[in-house]
Chains A and B, each alone.
Chain A
Amino acid sequence: GESVGLHLPTLSVQEGDNSIINCAYSNSASDYFIWYKQESGKGPQFIIDIRSNMDKRQGQRVTVLLNKTVKHLSLQIAATQPGDSAVYFCAETPLYNFNKFYFGSGTKLNVKP
């Protein structure tokens, strides 16, 4: 079956540095990808999404890159702030079942002041 995974369970960065969080997926039929942020005691919050017909998408301080050749997704956070400390996870859904998402287990981002 499909699997969505993250390379690093914990990432520590200095405030002001850029952060890169990675995600691998195994289903080549995946068509739509989302990054979520989950702060302690809260539900996941949508950050940014990308469809498979794109390689890159930018938001405010965040960029998502999609490499379909190696089935890899990354989230880049520019000028990381203490408020960015949270667990980040990716989700993907295949073409044949858009209602069903598969979630990675998450990477914890620690921002050091």
Chain B
Amino acid sequence: DVKVTQSSRYLVKRTGEKVFLECVQDMDHENMFWYRQDPGLGLRLIYFSYDVKMKEKGDIPEGYSVSREKKERFSLILESASTNQTSMYLCASSRPLQPQHFGDGTRLSIL
């Protein structure tokens, strides 16, 4: 079974802090994704990566950056956290043209 592991289930940070969310997958998938999930809005794509050191902006990249130095790890960075970035963050991985496999999410609160 594919396992996508997000480093934290719950995280509380302060406005202006730099926040790192980590994601690791164990199936050698090429593609990795970061989404945020807000009530009534569904999943919105922040960034995705289709190879090491490659990244593409999703629909809502503002205020975020990503890093993919190794194939199995995809990091989401909030450069200067703001309260409107309080959300559930979901990481996913997949092979091309295959379903995405999701982690269990990180619930991030920015105070």
- Give the interface of A toward B (CB within 8 A): 4, 32, 34, 36, 41-46, 49, 89, 91, 98-101, 103-106
Contact = CB atoms under 8 A, between A and B. Distances in A.
B104 A101 contact: no
A33 B34 CA distance: 19
Given A32-B97, A101-B100, A103-B44, 17 more contacts: A4-B42, A34-B99, A34-B100, A36-B102, A43-B4, A43-B90, A43-B103, A44-B102, A46-B100, A89-B42, A98-B96, A98-B97, A99-B31, A99-B48, A99-B96, A101-B45, A105-B42
Interface of chain B, main secondary structure: strand
Given A34-B99, A43-B4, A49-B99, A105 B104 contact: no
Interface size class of B (residues with CB under 8 A): 20 to 34
Nearest to B2: A46
Contact of A100 (B4, B40, B42, B58): B58
Nearest to A106: B42
Nearest to B91: A43
Nearest to B31: A99
A43 B43 contact: no
Interface string B29-55: 001000100001111110010100000
A43 B44 CA distance: 14
A42 B100 contact: no
A43 B42 CA distance: 13
